[in-house]
Amino acid sequence: MKKIIVLLLCVAFILVCFAGCGNAEPAGDNTEKKVYKMGTNAAFPPYEYKEGEKFVGIDVEIATAIAEKLGGTLEVVDMNFDSIITSVTQNEVDFGMAGMTVRPDREEYVDFSSSYATGVQCVIVKADSSIASIEDLAGKKIGTQLGTTGFMYASDDYGEENVIGYDKGADAVIALKGGDVDAVIIDNEPAKVYVEENAGLTILETKYAIEDYAIAVNKGNTELLDKINKALEELTADGTIDAIIAKYIKA
Ligand code: ARG
């Protein structure tokens, strides 16, 4: 009798082992996949924005592809742009991706991946504005999104008292239309979207600054950074990143 019980226990034990192994298979169900949290500010088309309740855009799609390569899934965590780096440093999110420019002052807190896109800071004015070039911005009121490079450059070059920071780039554009500011400094692709959506606005020819966009991970998290860089390399090599960009930015 004892022998039979021992035998049955052994069989049960082996069955449990097999079941366990089965769950660990990558082809198995979603329940055990790591959820990669991406901190972003989903008010920055075409990089991240909402279509109804759904997060879409270049960054969202690239991050989804990266998370898949890492064997996980992506969760978008929407927040103010100027909270993203803190959220990364406090490990509330796994990485920040938000058309974010690589800057030495940010590198004090986070490490950046290799760059996956180029951004150009440009100036939006009303079509009938007297501002025709960057030099004309002196003494004018400039609208920007809080915490962005546009905000930093404008404050450095024209004095903080002349710069108004808004939670969203779109709010700065509304302020421009309403006459609260004379110009908006913002990244070129969102600028194009805003000018297309709002009649009577134009983008100045002169580029303000050219920058690299990259993904931010917590300082010293080389394990995740290496994985992200490898995924980016593969997604670049197989054309995935170009295809995603082409879907959102018409040449
Ligand atoms: N490239 C600029 C920066 O890094 C602006 C990015 C704003 N991104 C956003 N999702 N709102 O400061």
Domain of 185, CATH number, reads 3.40.190.10
Top mutation candidate among 97, 100, 149, 152 for ligand 1, by most atoms within 8 Å of CB: 100
| Number of domains present in the structure of the chain | 2
Mean pLDDT of 203-232: 96
pLDDT tens, 128-185? 999 999 999 999 999 999 999 999 999 999 999 999 999 999 999 999 999 999 999 9
Tell me if 10 is assigned to some domain: no
Do 129 and 57 reside in the same domain of the chain? no
Judge if 108 and 148 occupy the same domain. Answer: no
Structural domain boundaries enclosing 106: 35-116+214-248
Instruction: Calculate the average pLDDT of the chain.
Output: 91
Q: In this structure, are 225 and 244 located in the same domain?
A: yes
Q: Are residues 182 and 72 part of one domain?
A: no
Q: Which amino acids bring their CB within 6 angstroms of ligand 1?
A: 40-41, 43-44, 48, 81, 98-101, 119, 145, 148-149, 187
CA distance 59 to 12: 47
Q: Is the pLDDT of residue 15 over 60?
A: no
Residue 186, domain member (yes or no): yes
pTM: 0.87
d(CA 181, CA 170): 13
Q: Do 144 and 84 share a structural domain?
A: no
Q: Do the domain assignments include residue 170? A: yes
* DSSP states of 130-169: S--SGGGGTTS-EEEETTSHHHHHHHHHH-GGGEEEESSH
Asked if 89 and 144 sit in the same domain, the reply is no
Same-domain status, 77 and 129: no
Closest alpha carbon to 245 in 47, 112, 75, 51 = 47
Query: Is there a single domain that holds both residue 106 and residue 175?
Result: no
Chain segment 221-241, per-residue pLDDT in tens: 999 999 999 999 999 999 999
Q: What pLDDT does 143 receive?
A: 98
Residue 198, number of CB atoms within 10 A of its CB = 15
Whether residue 242 is predicted with pLDDT greater than 70 in this model: the reply is yes
Atom of ligand 1 nearest to the CA of 152: 12
- What percentage of the chain exceeds 70 in pLDDT? 88
